């Protein structure tokens, strides 16, 4: 069982370690954690919680049984509260939560995991704020067009038609990668045209981080210095010797401090 420490426990997080230990008081499987140390950890993290007050909410620590209906993961719920606050919709949380199961059904019961949980949540917020499907987000549109792959259940036909009309594209039912042209030749050609090396490694980096790679190749971005070679360091004292057993195999280990 995963546990946490108050105030980052309970609600949308894992249950509190000290609380769970007390609940197992009469059990032979109760873990023997030092309660005094757990209390000190709580004092420490309470200060951290206050320092992060801009990004936290005591509502996240409240146990809400409605989560069983909305089926929203704890991490999504805590982030969602902050996003609604930024949109001036903090008082519409319950409305948005009620909209999430409906949006999931329309999007083929897409699972609430990253990144689709964020897509569903954002579309639910747009539905509440502007009216159902008055504004269709780009990621939700791509789910309806089949660009995220096959959904657990068919997407709503009317929503798919809306996505096709809004995007000017036809939906696909095949593997999304099958409709893409090979990119590696074009990426290498692009690098060569700019006077850069066209290795496979740089082509992949060019696809993922084109602007950052250009800065590095043009000498505009700092490059991490290599670590010092072993020859650059010297022992500064006597070594301590230990004998370790790893996976049943014995090892002799020497540990000594090194100085540059």
Q: Which domains does the chain have, with CATH numbers?
A: 17-60 (no CATH), 64-176 (1.10.472.90), 184-217 (no CATH)
Q: What is the pLDDT of residues 126-142, one digit of tens each?
A: 999 999 999 999 999 99
Asked if the model's pLDDT at residue 23 lies above 60, the reply is yes
For residue 18, is pLDDT > 80? no
Q: Name residues whose C-beta falls within 8 Å of residue 228's C-beta, 6 or more positions apart in sequence.
A: 260
What pTM value is reported for the model? 0.56
């Amino acid at each position: 069982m995963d546990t946490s420490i108050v105030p980052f426990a309970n609600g949308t997080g894992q249950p509190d370690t000290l609380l769970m230990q007390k609940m197992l008081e009469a059990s032979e499987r109760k873990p023997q954690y030092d309660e005094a140390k757990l209390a000190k950890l709580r004092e420490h993290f309470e200060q951290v919680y206050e320092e992060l007050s801009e990004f936290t909410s005591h509502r996240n620590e409240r146990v809400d049984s409605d989560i069983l209906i909305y089926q929203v993961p704890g991490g999504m719920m805590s982030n969602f509260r902050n996003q609604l606050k930024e949109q001036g919709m903090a008082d519409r949380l319950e409305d948005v939560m009620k909209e999430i199961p409906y949006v999931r059904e329309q999007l083929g019961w897409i699972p609430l995991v990253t990144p689709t949980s964020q897509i569903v949540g954002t579309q639910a917020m747009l539905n509440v704020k502007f009216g159902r499907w008055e504004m269709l987000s780009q990621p939700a549109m791509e789910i309806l067009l089949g660009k995220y792959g096959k959904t657990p259940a068919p997407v709503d036909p009317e929503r798919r038609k809306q996505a096709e009309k809004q995007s000017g594209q036809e939906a696909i039912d095949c593997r999304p990668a099958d409709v893409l042209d090979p990119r590696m030749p074009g990426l290498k050609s692009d690098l060569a045209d700019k006077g850069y090396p066209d290795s496979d490694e740089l082509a992949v980096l060019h696809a993922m981080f084109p602007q950052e790679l250009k800065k590095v190749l043009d000498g505009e971005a700092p490059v991490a210095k290599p670590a010092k070679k072993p020859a650059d360091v010297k022992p500064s004292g006597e070594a301590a010797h230990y004998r370790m057993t790893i996976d049943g195999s014995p090892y002799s280990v020497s540990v000594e401090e090194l100085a540059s």
